[in-house]
Amino acid sequence: MPEISIRGNEMPASPIRKLAPLADAAKQRGTHVFHLNIGQPDLPTPQTAIDAIRNIDRSVLEYSPSAGYRNYREKLTKYYAKFNINLDADDIIITTGGSEAVLFAFMSCLNPGDEIIVPEPAYANYMAFAISAGAKIRTITTTIAEGFSLPKVEKFEELINERTKGILICNPNNPTGYLYSRREMDQIRDLVKKYDLFLFSDEVYREFIYTGSPYISACHLEGIEQNVVLIDSVSKRYSECGIRIGMLITKNKEVKNAVMKFCQARLSPPLIGQIAAEASLDAPETYSRETYDEYVERRKCLIDGLNRIPGVYSPIPMGAFYTVAKLPVDDSDKFCAWCLSDFEYEGQTVFMAPASGFYTTPGLGHNEVRIAYVLKKDDLKRALVVLQKALEAYPGRTE
């Protein structure tokens, strides 16, 4: 029997989805599962998008252009202008979700064996995309004790060598909810400029910033315009994870030309997804404001509740809709699995993502979990009760 590839063996399982079979089994036993494991918003998709899908008047559902429909890309330039990101339609390439944008960015900019520096904990699929491109991720560790702030520039420079090709950030951050400061963004800019690196910047959570500090995009950084590859998606801001529409944005013509070859090879981004995403740009201002206000309330509910549970600590996330929490457990992978396979309280349990899967360095995150506050407040409050009961009953409790 032939063997699968080295790449297939090295591809990590998703920490977000790997426990799904246990959750399914719990549901089959009649247990209600609170899904805190995945960034799937429960808020409604804009009605303008739903109506656009319902009112599709086409006799053929055709291929779209490989870069996406131009009228949609032109409309997007007005959206980005609201954030002082000044683009032409040709700077934007529509992709099959933000995931494809990351993959195509890596495939276009990195050679096999090249290295990129990524602050950890980090979105787990970055590692999967790097493996797909034959590249290597070098992580720079941030800690819950320091609120996941970036270490000093010297720590970055210790990792830079002749194979280093780029830095990847997620801002606001998934999984921590951390928001990079102006000082940190300037530090990254200076490194990118000094060593002539690519800066891959995943900014899909820009709508969800809970501080008075200004939003600093990689596209705002002066002097590295040709180095920046911005990753974006409609999944989170419009609750449209399933339509699979993302964007790769760059002013670097060579990168654009290379990315377009991969876009042509996969033919086109989703037709119906683009119809819905373009219509979402016409959603009333109240949609974004109400969505934002709801996440502010959920964040307060979750973080206050977590920090009231004995032995639990979570810093206050300043962006996105995730937090990483430290738990009084011996092993969060075991604990998260145990919650689904061996525990229920009044017919309910919780599904969280073990944080170890968001670290590359072995041993890190062993007592941390990522929690997504994508449930309504009543459900979050109940999930917190269930979590506290689980921690009291867990045989591997450490405090």
Kindly tell me if the per-residue pLDDT of 6 is higher than 90: no
Kindly tell me if the per-residue pLDDT of 129 is higher than 90: yes
Every domain range in the chain assigned CATH 3.90.1150.10: 6-44+286-393
pLDDT of res. 110: 98
CB atoms within 10 A of CB 49: 25
Tokens of 250: 């760059």
Name the band, by pLDDT with cuts 50, 70 and 90, for residue 17.
confident
Side chain identity at residue 160, one-letter code: I
pLDDT tens per residue across span 242-285: 999 999 999 999 999 999 999 999 999 999 999 999 999 999 99
Tokens of 391: 């921690």
- What is the percent of the chain with per-residue pLDDT over 90, rounded to a whole number? 92
Cα(225)–Cα(85) distance, rounded to whole angstroms? Answer: 11
Give 44's contacts (C-beta < 8 A, 6+ positions apart): 239
Kindly tell me if the per-residue pLDDT of 399 is higher than 80: no
Half-sphere exposure of 270 (CA within 13 A, CB side): 21
Place of tokens 């042509």: 264
Q: How confident is the model over 362-380, as a mean pLDDT?
A: 96
Side chain identity at residue 326, one-letter code: K
pLDDT tens per residue across span 281-308: 999 999 999 999 999 999 999 999 999 9
pLDDT of res. 182: 94
Every domain range in the chain assigned CATH 3.40.640.10: 58-280
Kindly tell me if the per-residue pLDDT of 11 is higher than 90: no
Q: What is the mean pLDDT of the chain?
A: 96
pLDDT of res. 18: 82
Do strands 32-35 and 348-351 pair parallel, antiparallel, or not at all (unpaired)?
parallel
Name the band, by pLDDT with cuts 50, 70 and 90, for residue 232.
very high
CATH number of 58-280: 3.40.640.10
Kindly tell me if the per-residue pLDDT of 339 is higher than 90: yes
Cα-Cα-Cα-Cα dihedral of 259, 262, 263, 269, to 10°? -120
CATH number of 6-44+286-393: 3.90.1150.10
Do strands 246-249 and 198-202 pair parallel, antiparallel, or not at all (unpaired)?
unpaired
Assign 370 to helix, strand or coil.
strand
Place of tokens 């079979």: 21
Name the band, by pLDDT with cuts 50, 70 and 90, for residue 341.
very high
Kindly tell me if the per-residue pLDDT of 212 is higher than 90: no
Least confident of 17-21, 107-111, 120-124, 264-268: 17-21
Q: The pTM is what?
A: 0.95
In Å, how far from its chain's centre is CA 152? Answer: 24
Cα(18)–Cα(265) distance, rounded to whole angstroms? Answer: 30
Residue with the larger pLDDT of the pair 346 and 4: 346
Cα(238)–Cα(216) distance, rounded to whole angstroms? Answer: 21
pLDDT of res. 185: 97
Kindly tell me if the per-residue pLDDT of 13 is higher than 90: no
**What single string gives the DSSP state of each residue in 107-170?**
HHH--TT-EEEEEES--THHHHHHHHHT-EEEEEE--GGGTTPPPPHHHHHHH--TTEEEEEEE
Name the band, by pLDDT with cuts 50, 70 and 90, for residue 10.
confident
Q: Are 374 and 22 in contact (CB under 8 A)?
A: no
Q: Are 322 and 176 in contact (CB under 8 A)?
A: yes
pLDDT tens per residue across span 24-61: 999 999 999 999 999 889 999 999 999 999 999 999 99
Kindly tell me if the per-residue pLDDT of 192 is higher than 80: yes
> How many helices (H) and strands (E) are present in the chain, helices listed first?
13, 12
Name the band, by pLDDT with cuts 50, 70 and 90, for residue 78.
very high
Q: How confident is the model over 106-119, as a mean pLDDT?
A: 97
Name the band, by pLDDT with cuts 50, 70 and 90, for residue 214.
confident
